[in-house]
Structure 1
Amino acid sequence: MRDKRDVLLVDGYNMIGGWPGLAALSKNDLQAARDSLLERLADYQAFSGRKVVVIFDAYRVPGLGKSFTQNQVEIHFTKEKETADECIERLSYEFASSRRQIYVATSDMVEQHVIFGQGALRISARELLVQIEQSEKEVKSKIVERSESASRNTIDSKLSPEMRKMFERWRRG
Structure 2
Amino acid sequence: MKNIFIDGYNVINSWKELRQENTGSMEISRMKLKDILLNYGVYNGYKIFLVFDAHLQAGSIEKKEKVNKNLMIVFTKEGETADSFIERYVNNIGRKYEVLVVTSDSLEQQLIFQRGAIRMSSIEFYHEIKSIENKIRKQGIKKQDDARYSLKDRIDRDIADKLEEMRRSK
Q: TM-score range by the shorter chain?
A: 0.7 to 0.9
Q: Secondary structure of the equivalent of 2:19?
A: helix
Question: Offset of 1:166 from its aligned partner?
Answer: 2.7
**Residue in structure 1 matched with residue 74 of structure 2 by the alignment:** 76
The equivalent residue for 1:89 is 87
Offset at residue 38 of structure 1 (A): 0.7
User: TM-score of the superposition, structure 1-length normalised?
Assistant: 0.83
1:105 counterpart residue number? 102
**Structure 1 residue runs of 4+, over 4 Å off?**
24-27
Secondary structure, aligned partner of 1:63: coil
1:30 aligns with 2:26: yes
121-130 vs 41-50, greater mean Cα deviation: 41-50
Partner of 2:145: 148
Q: Is the 8 A contact 1:7 1:95 kept in 2?
A: no
Q: CA RMSD in A?
A: 2.4
Q: Which runs of 5+ in 1 are unaligned?
A: 157-162, 169-173
The structural deviation recorded for 1:48 is 1.9
Aligned residue type for 2:118: L
Matching residue's letter, 2:17: G
**What is the distance in 1 between the residues matched to 2:19 and 2:28?**
11
Unaligned ranges ≥5, structure 2: 154-161
| Identity percentage of aligned residues | 30
AA aligned to 1:6 is K
Q: Structure 2: how far apart are the matches of 1:128 and 1:164?
A: 52
Correspondent of 1:42 among 29, 35, 38: 38
User: Contact between 1:104 and 1:120, CA under 8 Å: does it hold in 2?
Assistant: yes
Report the Cα offset of residue 96 of structure 1. 3.1
TM-score normalised by L of structure 2: 0.84
Of residues 89-98 and 124-133 in structure 1, the stretch that sits farther from structure 2 once superposed is 89-98
Match of 1:137 in 2: 134
- 8 Å CA contact 2:3–2:99 kept in 1: the answer is yes
